[in-house]
Amino acid sequence: MKEFIDLRSDTVTKPTPAMRKAMTDAEVGDDVFGEDPTVNALQEKVARMLGKEASIFVPSGTMANQLAIKSHTQPGDEVIIETTSHPYNFEGGASAALSGIQFNCLQGIRGILEPSQIEEAIRPDDHHFPVTRLVCLENTHNRGGGSIYPIERIAEISRLARSKGLLVHLDGARLWNASVATGIKPHEYAQWADSVSVCLSKGLGAPVGSLVAGSRTFIERVHRFRKMFGGGMRQVGIIAAAGIYALDHHIERLKEDHQKAKHLALGLHEIQGVSIDPECVETNIVIFDIAEMGMTATQVRDEMKKKGVLIHPFGRTQIRLVTHLDVSKEDIETALKAFREVLRPS
């Protein structure tokens, strides 16, 4: 039996025995020389899946986003992004430090922006203003509770951006979840973006790894900055193999994670004082509020831990739960039972 049911993130999964076998068997070479056949195969595969000319393997989703921002912008440029987005909130201020850009943050609904908001935010061509260069979108949206960017909305934003000479970057750390939930292929989403970052180490269950995809010239630029950021890795086919395995075997099963998240949301909804709309749970992330209960998220975290369930406070009274391949349906029942015991209005 496992020590903890870990609902803090879908990043906590451990490689399955079959994935480990693929890693052991991987052919490797020095990827800084471009000689790792497994990395090359992964990069070609992801470029194909996203309908882009090329893609490049990097250690993390953070590096993937930051390389895209760096490669698209000049210091002093402005990047339009949603207020609760990952690059703005959870990447250590990297875009300011590494790219010298400033963000223009717009408030979305569950992370989703309206094209009209973006249109209004684009700076006029006047030397007083920063140059608006890039629009960043996130699908699914983490802080938005795993919300799915409707493809029509992405298309509208992209058409607007292109008509104004702006570039679009899509943070697709969980694009696979959006794709499985909607039946819309990753390349259909990706066609609307100049660059896309994707992660293998979230719902797909690989231990490490993300990629950035785009045109060949863009990826050449990213390659240069990857070296500069210290992201060039050597015999890294050993982890790229886990990524290939994950793409071949762990995409369709994301459906199960979405069902588990919905089940969690419905169970939480029945607890008096929990604020959650189960309708809003579209993928594998559940965010709920306990402001009415007179408890804080950290108190709940500590009580839940005593009952063997790990959860992630997301603000003073908000809690995030994420389902993944290392939590079973039974684990969800156990977690709900623990929540029913801990979440009692004071």
Considering the complex, what minimum distance in angstroms separates the CB of residue 81 from ligand TLP? 12
Across the chain, which distance is largest between two alpha carbons, in Å? 64
Considering the complex, what minimum distance in angstroms separates the CB of residue 345 from ligand TLP? 29
Considering the complex, what minimum distance in angstroms separates the CB of residue 314 from ligand TLP? 9
In sequence order, the 6+-apart residues with CB closer than 8 A to the CB of 316 are 296, 297
Considering the complex, what minimum distance in angstroms separates the CB of residue 58 from ligand TLP? 9
Is the CB of 9 or the CB of 104 nearer to ligand TLP? Answer: 9
Considering the complex, what minimum distance in angstroms separates the CB of residue 64 from ligand TLP? 7
Is the CB of 91 or the CB of 271 nearer to ligand TLP? Answer: 91
Burial class of residue 94 in the structure, from the number of CB atoms within 10 Å of its CB (0-12 exposed, 13-18 middle, 19+ buried):
middle
In sequence order, the 6+-apart residues with CB closer than 8 A to the CB of 150 are 112
Q: Find, among 3, 10, 8, the residue nearest to 326 by Cα.
A: 10
Is the CB of 6 or the CB of 138 nearer to ligand TLP? Answer: 138
Q: 171 with 87: CB under 8 angstroms? A: yes
Is the CB of 78 or the CB of 138 nearer to ligand TLP? Answer: 138
Residue nearest to ligand TLP (CB): 61
Catalog residues that contact ligand TLP under the rule CB under 6 A: 9, 11, 60-62, 65, 86, 90, 138, 142, 171, 173, 199, 201, 210
Considering the complex, what minimum distance in angstroms separates the CB of residue 268 from ligand TLP? 19
Residue count (the chain): 346
Is the CB of 43 or the CB of 210 nearer to ligand TLP? Answer: 210
Is the CB of 65 or the CB of 283 nearer to ligand TLP? Answer: 65
Considering the complex, what minimum distance in angstroms separates the CB of residue 140 from ligand TLP? 8
In sequence order, the 6+-apart residues with CB closer than 8 A to the CB of 266 are 278
Q: Which two tokens stand for residue 266?
A: 């419905």
Question: What does the alpha-carbon distance between residue 287 and residue 88 come to, in Å, rounded to a whole number?
Answer: 19
Q: Coil, helix or strand for 137?
A: strand
User: H or E stretch including 213?
Assistant: strand 210-214
Q: 268 with 274: CB under 8 angstroms? A: yes
Is the CB of 86 or the CB of 169 nearer to ligand TLP? Answer: 86
Amino acid found at 302: D
